Amino acid sequence: MSVDLLTLSDVHKSFSRGYRNRVDALQGVSLSVAAERPQIITIAGESGSGKSTLGMLALGFLSPDAGELRFRGQEIAGLRGQALRDFRQSVQAIFQNPFATFNPVYPVDHVLRLTLRNFSTGAEQASRETRISDALRAMHLDPALVLGKYPHQLSGGQLQRVLLARAFLLRPQLIIADEPVSMIDASLRAVVLANMLELKERHGISWLYITHDLSTARQISDTLLILYRGRIVEAGPMERVLDAPQHPYTQLLIQAIPRPDPTQRWQAPLDWQGDESAETVTAAASGCAFYARCPFRMDRCLEAVPPLLATPADTQAACFLHEPGAARPG
């Protein structure tokens, strides 16, 4: 049995804010990225779902309160020296705001050179310029238009592709992308997404694509995980999850997404159960986090957190409706 590239098992993480608040960002999340077959895994959730925390944990920038994060079987928190370098070389990232991802005082290629200097052997150093140009060209960027430019001189889409080129320089096996297109204009978004897809298909790089936007997830992902308040509520192959959502939350989410087609307008207002009264929230504290908004809620949902259960659509959903014998929603 081969060792997975990256595994998260039952990861918990919470943050304390101020004197009283404790925010549970992640409450028992497990997932794994296989080493052999490249794929794009999308983690989708609204703000506050814990998706960004998941990305920071996977990069080793945060450590979990409980649970384990492993890179090729080794715990990430314990990586030192060469093992840490291997991890950094194999697992890279791009971020949400390309304008804030460059140091404004240096030209954009500064960080590309720095990456090469820190990761390559002496013999490889000589070909540094060629490798940078090649990486930029692989992202369909003209090196002459990019090298020596300062961040403010390029568009968000161009900057994001320079960052893709930087990650690509290391030939990583996995790139973690936290909302990589949400700050890029729609007309340029497609180019970045296409680049991501191309890196998977031509160069065998896997992606952890973290986003709030299921429409872009549709375009590139293989596997889809839906995160709600720190827990995975639905998981499965992307098309099945989007076309036949099994968790009431996923269903609501997909209904709420507008389609870019005036002939496909919303017919009736969203079936929305906004029962967020204090009593309901307190009652649901030990049960399903979606209880307050759920159209199918049962008393059972207050008692325990539903585990991920197999669904007829061959996906998994954390909902008691999928317990054997339960009445399923139409």
166-205: contacts with another protein (CB under 8 A): 166, 185-191, 193-195, 197-198
| Nearer to another protein (CB atom), residue 2 or residue 47 | 47
| Number of shown-chain residues binding another protein (CB under 8 A) | 79
Provide, rounded to whole angstroms, the least separation between the CB of residue 186 and another protein: 5
Q: Considering the rule CB under 8 A, would residue 131 count as an interface residue with another protein?
A: no
**Residue 97, SS3?**
coil
Q: Considering the rule CB under 8 A, would residue 22 count as an interface residue with another protein?
A: no
- The letter for the amino acid at 103 is N
How would you write 186-231 as a 3-class SS string?
A: HHHHHHHHHHHHHHHHHHCCEEEEEECCHHHHHHHCCEEEEEECCE
Q: Considering the rule CB under 8 A, would residue 15 count as an interface residue with another protein?
A: no
> Site residues for another protein, window 237-266 (CB under 8 A)?
242-243, 252-263, 265-266
**Interface with another protein (CB under 8 A), residue from 1, 2, 22, 47:** 47
Count Cβ atoms below 10 Å from residue 95 Cβ, excluding itself.
Answer: 17
Cα(69)–Cα(108) distance, integer angstroms:
32
Q: Considering the rule CB under 8 A, would residue 83 count as an interface residue with another protein?
A: no
| Nearer to another protein (CB atom), residue 2 or residue 263 | 263
Count Cβ atoms below 10 Å from residue 172 Cβ, excluding itself.
Answer: 20
Sequence-distant (6+) residues with CB within 8 A of 88 are 119
**Interface with another protein (CB under 8 A), residue from 3, 66, 85, 303:** 85
Under 8 Å between Cβ of 91 and 58 = yes
| Nearer to another protein (CB atom), residue 235 or residue 252 | 252
| Nearer to another protein (CB atom), residue 29 or residue 242 | 242
Q: Chain centroid to CA 132: how far?
A: 27
